[in-house]
């Protein structure tokens, strides 16, 4: 492993300009300080696999991550990642209040989703201008069915209640590529496998109102793994230059 990292560092050293060498616009490329911190935000599309695919067609949501670079070349980093994937939602008109006449009608949305958090190592390999990477995470995920006011794939959480939930250990492994569009910002494309293990969860239509005023639950039980495809943006914080040497 040590020889592998040394070889990668050597390739970077050969590809990088010599100290003090000016770029094509006369800028001193050796003066750039590579930041330790990076953040990213991406749109996420999930494709269930195995038994989970029998109950859920697809999922969509958002993912965010923070990277802490552990070496000067950014070959090794610590990755902290969180996300929300919605795999089914439904809305209905309901009356706000208990009066015989409906003075205020509202939309009540019930959303089924997966919230996840994980942390682990990331290894990167620069290939010219682009950078490829792979990572492995360990953490937790929660399958939750939430009902609240509002529409869309996620109700207003201020006026919402969780109707059903199941949490447990989760892991994720992924690969990706970063294509620079500015000095400190890159387009981030990737795919990951998220393992959630065997879970209990509700799907669209799995929560019903009973005549006696109670809620009915159609609970599914299966392995709940999926593939996640993402497209997003990663940027460095902060991006600055060394002060000029007197």
Q: What is the mean pLDDT of each run of 10 residues along the chain (246 residues)?
A: 43 38 40 75 96 94 96 92 91 69 74 96 93 97 87 60 93 96 92 97 87 86 96 84 50
Output the pLDDT for position 192.
98
Whether 42 is in a domain gets the answer no
- The whole domain housing 211 covers 48-237
What pLDDT score was predicted for residue 148? 80
Note the pTM of the prediction, 2 decimals: 0.76
Distance CA 16, CA 26 (A): 16
Tell me whether residue 63 is in a domain. Answer: yes
Give the list of residues 6+ apart from residue 245 with CB closer than 8 angstroms, or none. none
Nearest to 68 by CA among 1, 139, 122: 122
Q: How far apart are CA 34 and CA 16, in angstroms?
A: 13
**CATH code of the domain containing 132:** 2.40.160
- Spacing of C-alpha 220 from chain mean position: 25
Residue 60 resides in a domain = yes
Residue 64 covered by a domain? yes
If one counts the domains in the chain, the total is: 1
């Amino acid at each position: 492993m040590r020889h592998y990292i040394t070889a990668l560092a050597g390739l970077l050293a050969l590809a990088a300009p010599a100290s003090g060498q000016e770029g094509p616009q006369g800028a001193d490329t050796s003066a750039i300080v590579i930041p330790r911190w990076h953040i990213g935000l991406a749109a996420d599309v999930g494709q269930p696999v195995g038994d989970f695919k029998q109950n859920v067609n697809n999922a969509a949501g958002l993912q965010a991550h923070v990277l802490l670079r552990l070496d000067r070349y950014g070959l090794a980093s610590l990755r902290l990642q969180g996300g929300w994937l919605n795999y089914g939602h439904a809305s209905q008109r309901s009356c706000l209040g208990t009066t015989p006449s409906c003075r205020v009608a509202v939309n009540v949305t019930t959303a089924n989703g997966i919230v996840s958090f994980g942390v682990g190592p990331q290894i990167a390999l620069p290939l010219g201008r682009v950078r490829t990477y792979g990572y492995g995470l360990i953490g937790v995920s929660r399958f939750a069915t939430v009902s609240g006011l509002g529409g869309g794939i996620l109700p207003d959480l201020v006026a919402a209640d969780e109707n059903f939930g199941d949490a447990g250990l989760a892991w994720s492994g992924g690969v990706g590529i970063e294509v620079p569009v500015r000095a400190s910002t890159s387009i981030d494309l990737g795919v990951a496998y998220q393992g959630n293990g065997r879970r209990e969860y509700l799907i669209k239509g799995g929560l019903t109102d009973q005549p006696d005023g109670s809620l009915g639950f159609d609970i599914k039980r299966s392995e709940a793994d999926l593939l996640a495809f993402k497209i997003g943006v990663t940027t460095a914080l902060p991006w600055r230059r060394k002060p000029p040497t007197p």
